[in-house]
Each structure stands twice: as structure tokens, then as C-alpha cells.
Amino acid sequence: MSKAQTVSTTASDPTVAAAASQFLSPVVLGLQALTINTKQAHWHVRGANFVGVHELFDTIVAHAGDFADTAAERIVALGLPIDARVKAVAEKGAGSEVPAGFAQSSDLIRNVIADIDAILVDTKAAIDGLDEVDLTSQDVAIEIMRGLEKDRWFLVAHIAE
Ligand SMILES: [Fe+2]
């Protein structure tokens, strides 16, 4: 008769899980806020290159949602919860540059870039902070930074001289 085995929740130790949560949670919240505020930009953009910018904003919404999911699920895979309810996301995104109402595409592009730059600060902090703690979680942050920087380039290309 086989004996029931105890299976631990995760393969990692608590220090690793705590660090992943500490550094990846702000990234998740910033990205969730970015999905909402870039959708706002998608709906209200006017002016030059309307169709392209309108569609690019939706692409960025989709990417931000995917990045947030990857980072959140890394935390959960290590056995910890994350509070990404609306209240937490709203607090994190309170400094968004995206305005209310209709706006010109060149302005909204700058606003979304500013929001991305704020997330990049948290993402860089995660890359640095996780470097000697957990390379697997650091890899998640690196992947997000690479993706955000690419989306940032697509935005900048619309307004660069
Ligand atoms: Fe749409």
C-alpha cells in the first residue's frame, strides 16, 4: 500500500518567493494600469495617423495584459498571492499622464510613453533586485523590459523627427 506523499506548494524557498513578489508586484500593477489608460487613449485619439495610432494603442493594451499575466503568474507559481484588484491598480496608476477627453495623437503618444517609462523604472529595479536572488524571476522582468522597450520604439517612431 503506497503512502500518501506531502507535496509542497512550490519548489522555491520563501526568500525567493518574497523577492519575486516584492519586485514583480509593482510591475504587474503598473501594467494593469497601462492596459486601462492606453485603452482610454485608443478611444479618444484624434488627428494625424488616426488609424495607425488607434490600432497601435490596442496592440500595446494587449501586450501590457500579457506581460502583467506573466509576472503575476510567476509570483503565484512561487506560492504567494498578489493583490491586483482595482483599488491597488488605481493607486499605482494615479500618476498616469493620459488625460480625460479627446486629444491629438502626438500628445497621447507622449502620454503613453510617459506611462511606459514609469513602468520601465520598476522593471529595471526588478531586474537589478532579482539578479542575485532568482534568475528565473529576473528573466520575466527582462522579457517585459524587452517588450516594453519595443512598444516604446513603435510609439516614438510616430513623433520622432
Ligand atoms: Fe477598439
- Report CA-CA distances (Å) from 114 to 34, 63, 80: 11, 17, 30
Domain at 14-159, CATH from 3.40.50.720, 1.20.1260.10, 3.30.70.1350, 3.20.20.105: 1.20.1260.10
Q: What percent of the chain has pLDDT over 70?
A: 98
Q: What is the pLDDT of residue 35?
A: 98
Ligand 1 center from residue 96 Cα (angstroms): 20
Q: Would you state the pLDDT for residue 30?
A: 98
Q: How many CA atoms lie within 13 A of 159 on its CB side?
A: 16
Domain locations along the chain: 14-159
> What tens digit of pLDDT does each residue of 43-69 get?
999 999 999 999 999 999 999 999 999
How many Å lie between the centroid of ligand 1 and the Cα of residue 42? Answer: 7
Give me the residues paired with residue 46 across strands. Answer: 104
96-126 per-position pLDDT tens digit? 999 999 999 999 999 999 999 999 999 999 9
